[in-house]
Each structure stands twice: as structure tokens, then as C-alpha cells.
Amino acid sequence: MLPIDLSGKRAFVAGVADDGGFGFAIAKAMVTAGATVCLGTWPPAMGIFEKLLERGKMDESLTLPDGKRMTFEKIYPLDAAFDTMEDVPPEIRESKRYKDRGDYSIAGVRDALRADFGDNGLDIVVHSLANGPDVKKPLVQTSRSGYLEALSVSTYSKIAFVRELGPMMRPGGSFLSLTYMASERVIPGYGGGMSSAKAALESDTRTLAFEAGREWGVRVNTISAGPYASRAASAIGFIDTMIQYTEANAPLHRRLEAEDVGRTAAFLASPLAAAITGSVIFVDNGYHVMGMAAG
């Protein structure tokens, strides 16, 4: 037996606000493999998420294979659009959905993690974040502000995570992010600069793998997942069509499950993947190899 063993490791998974997406599935796989998990949650969604957890509305999703209930070590407010609180506009800072959440910037989460777990308290960081306000617009109609926001939240925040959390990682640590095939092929309707953001994310993964590997001895990879009907992905507007087309034309004629991505993430974070860094790992039933429709 060659198990995925994350015992004694601590993961920080950023971008979880419900139990329906890849971020939650990754967190669950990490816990199943023995890790403890902290979450970073967008402040406007944090209250609802906490209430669902408290009221037992997610108990079924939180049930682990051994029958125990998954718990999170801590949930931190995080808006990855802001490196520090000085970057937060007054109208957001004073909003009722933000004002009582403390420091929800990337630097704030760094400081909170350090205060809670020390200078070397992390082994795994998962970047499960993406946002493009113009995602329903064709690229040619995307505003400058919409394009830059897509890159800021979906891509630059990973650079900030590596910079701020890299020094806190124990040797052999792992950074993971989520990308999509629109980085290299045209997906009509996947607009707003999100395809550009994913392409940049993959390029940055390679450069960060070199820089973070030499500086802190940690690895940096990204998972290119097939389309999945999470709440966030549904904002695209045609996710069901994407899923049906991919299922019809992928080499493996099966539905992609969030658990497929979760298990891959657990493997990449484990010592079994000690020599894998700077890589884009496809988890899409093989669809990325196809050059034309299967017919």
C-alpha cells in the first residue's frame, strides 16, 4: 500500500464559501488524508457560510469516509483583491458586510496565520479563487477595469500568496491553484479577460515554482480542471452546455466530480509528488487531448 498521507500537515484553502465547489472538495480530501485545514472565505459570503455550518446544513457534505465529521481549524475572512487594508476603498471598508471582519487583506491573513500557528506553521496553500466582473462579455468588449480585476483576483493574488506565505511554509510545502483550458484554447463565452487570467496563472506557476523552490524549498503547481457546475462557475451562464460538450467528447465517458480534483490536489500536496513542480495537471477526463469533436 502506498497511501496519500498528510498527517501532521496544515493546509490553508482560500476561496471556500460553500460545499459545492473544488475548494471544498480539496479541503475534504486533505482532511481525509490526515491534514488539518484552515479556510479563507470572502467576507460577504462568510456569514451565510458560518450559519450553514452551525445549523448543520452541511453535515452530509462534511461527513468523511470513516463516518466522522470534518471540522475546520479556523475560518479567516479574506478578500484577495487587497494586499493590505490600505488598498480597501472606503465604501467597501464601511460596508456592513465588511466592517466587522477585521483585517481581511492578504497581509491580514498572513498575520493571523502567523499569530495562530507560528512562523513555520503551514505546509499547503490552495488558491481556489477567481473573479471576472465582465466574464459574460466577449474579450473585445471587456472594459479595462474588468480585465484588470480579473487578473488581480484570479492571478496576481497567487503571486501575493507565495510572497506572503512562502516564508511560513515548512520545507517540502506545496502551493496549488486552479486553472482552466481556456488558457490555451478558445472557449466562446468565457470572457471578461478570464482566459487571459488563466493563461497568466499558468505562466506564473512556472516562474513561481523556480523562485519559491530556490527560496523556500516549496513546490508550485496548478490543476486544470474540466467544467463543473459549482456556484461560481454557474455565473458564466452556460456551464451546463460546457459540461455536456466535454462529456460527449472526452476520452473517458464519465462525469467529472469535484472529488476527482480533491484527490489530485491531495496527491500533489503529499510527499508522493515531491519531484513535481511548475506543472499544469489536467483533471478533465482527458478532454484536453482532443483536436476535434468525437462526433
- What element of type H or E holds 176? strand 169-179
Active-site residue 190, yes or no? yes
The residue behind cell 487531448 is 289
Map 132-155 to HEC letters.
CCCCCCCHHHCCHHHHHHHHHHHH
Catalytic entry in 76, 104, 180, 287:
180
Catalytic entry in 190, 228, 245, 287:
190
In 216-261, where do the E strands start and end?
219-225
- Is 288 strand, coil or helix? helix
Count of other CB atoms within 10 angstroms of residue 14: 25
Active-site residue 180, yes or no? yes
Cα 239 from Cα 253, distance rounded (Å): 18
- Is 169 strand, coil or helix? strand
Cα 111 from Cα 15, distance rounded (Å): 18
β-sheet bridge partners, residue 74: 38
Q: Which of 95, 116, 93, 114 is nearest to 103 (CA)?
A: 93
Please give the positions annotated as active site. 180, 190
